[in-house]
Structure 1
Amino acid sequence: MLGGPHYDVYLGRRDGRVSTASAVEGNLPRPTMPMSQIIQIFASRGFSAEEMVALSGAHTIGFSHCSEIFNRTSFGSSSSSSDSDLPNYNPRFAQALQRACGDFRKDPTLSVFNDVMTPNKFDNAYFQNLPKGLGVLRSDHGLYNDPRTRPFVEKFATDQNAFFDAFAKAMQKLSLVGVKTGRRGEIRRRCDQIN
């Protein structure tokens, strides 16, 4: 509906019977993690750096809560530190983010679009934004600043078809991670509770 690629979704995936917040820590990437840690999380599930960058392209739609940006980010700072993941925001963009998120401590629901240029269109503009300092999250900047992921950001920024193809294949692969078979898991009668 938003213009993204078509890919087949495999049927028959079962739901787990246990869901705990403690199981998430270290298994899902956080936007504040250094790129090396994010790459490792994906690699531990069998994903290459290119596949991880392609999946990050989902940030072409959606939004991020201001608390994820401001609690851990210094705006307008150059990445002169040894940490290549530190954001290097476009100064005007940083000011706009500060204005948009000014009251986030009073209103934790405040958020901003991940792709400020085409927020309601699934395209490769997200990747085109990153070299310009228009990434919202630390992890967005990390994709462009890290030499292991930058070539894929540049590739997807110039070739939307390559991004769509890589995204579709990586989404199919992601849907197969941790598939439960046999007696493991269940097909729920109601999706919001175990049987």
Structure 2
Amino acid sequence: MREPRCLTVAKILCPRGMKGEVQINSLTDFPTRFKPGTTFVLYPPLPHVRWLTIEDAKFRGDKINLKFKEINDRGDAEKLRGHLLEIPIEKAEPLPRGSYWFHQIIGLEVVTTEGKSLGRVVEILRTGANDVYVVRPLGRGKEILIPAIKEVVEEIDLRTGRIMIKVIQGLME
């Protein structure tokens, strides 16, 4: 899999107020990146906006409201709905040992400790308690949901493109 140039860190949900604020859904484990002066790539870009710089950030529980320097009214904020905020890959926070970016996991083959191939990871769900890998079988069959927990995931090997899992009771039912 090709290394991306940018990483998605948030999705813009909706406008807030009349002065161009937006509410976002943070997709990062590093909420400290949402501070005044931080610049993001807008994806997909709008004809007149490619970069957005935070002017003000308000944290309200699990919600984050942002005011960008480039957006000054509710109409322009509405145009951002559904767009993504990204950062250049070189500005990504270093991950702890044993942690991976989603783009590194998606596409990997999932194999049991007995050597049976279950398919490839096509999506990662964030459940709050732990991530869940959505595995699509190579042939026919239903997608398999694999919890990304140490009791199940034995090894992630980016070099070989494989995730080794231990099948625990109830996992494949």
Q: Normalising by the residue count of structure 2, what TM-score does the alignment of the two structures yield?
A: 0.25
Richer in helix (by share): 1
Q: Which has the higher contact order (CA 8 A, sep 6+)?
A: 1
TM-score, length of structure 1 as denominator length: 0.23
